[in-house]
Amino acid sequence: MTQLDQHIEQWIQDTGNPAKHDEAKKFYAEKIMPQLLEHLKDIDIVGKQLRENGGVDTLFSVLGMTPAPIVITQHLLQPKNHVIFYDKNIKVKDDKILAHLDSNPTYVMFEDESFGTIYETMKEMLIVSEGGNMVIDITGGKKSMTAAAAIFAKDFDFNIVYVDMSSPGSYIPAIHQTRPGSERLNLVYSPLRDLPELFH
């Protein structure tokens, strides 16, 4: 059993204990996250392919209640520019998980959750970005945010990625969490791979 596996087992036990909730969050951020990022980088396929095929110029991320997927995607893609969108209910300051980002991101808050606001806010950030090979991570955020982000991504030729589980058994119902280490970056849509004319 690796040190990462030992830490994961301890974290699962602590997370299942309401009295240790805060302690478990801190343990995850400080002990598991650094090792997890190294582990995922070693086994990642999608991020490696994108990095080797021109790299990622701009990454748009939608932040939800769990910031870990954003950090995982950023580490696997290593974008030149990183923009994180979030709503007013999310706290981004002093988050111990987001502290693992090494992308120096720009944070942009959605004024509301309407399709028009999300779409136009992303469009404004696209104008100030440098273009190139663009990726959007739709793992986080509410479903309305994810849907708007996916439509925006398709309209502006973004690759769409999602942090998924490697297998159904990776989900731990008792703590409502995915087992750390089972995350996989999934390329949901690529404007080059998924050309519309191929499906007509």
Give the per-residue pLDDT at 200: 45
Rounded to the nearest integer, the mean pLDDT of the chain is 92
Amino acid at 83: V
Alpha helices, DSSP H, located in 105-178: 115-128, 143-155
List Cβ neighbours of 76 (8 Å cut-off, separation of 6 or more): 40, 41, 44, 46, 47, 48, 185
Token representation of residue 28? 């995850």
**Per-residue confidence in pLDDT tens, the chain, 200 aa:** 799 999 999 999 999 888 998 899 999 999 999 999 999 999 999 999 999 999 999 999 999 888 999 999 999 999 999 999 999 988 888 889 999 999 899 999 999 999 999 999 999 999 878 779 999 999 988 898 999 999 999 999 999 999 998 877 788 888 888 899 999 999 999 998 887 655 54
Residue 180: the pLDDT is 94
- Count of beta carbons in the 10 Å neighbourhood of residue 85: 24
> Between vectors from CA 58 to CA 55 and to CA 59, what angle results, nearest 5°?
100
Question: CATH topology for 3-199?
Answer: Rossmann fold (3.40.50)
Phi-psi region of 98 (alpha: psi -120 to 50; beta: other; left: phi over 0): alpha
Q: How confident is the model at residue 114, as a pLDDT?
A: 94
pTM (2 decimals)?
0.92
Alpha-carbon distance of 37 to 145, in angstroms, equals 26
The full DSSP string for 65-93 is: S--HHHHHHHHHH--SEEEEEE-TT---T
- 43 Cβ contact list (under 8 Å, min separation 6): none
Q: What is the pLDDT of residue 41?
A: 94
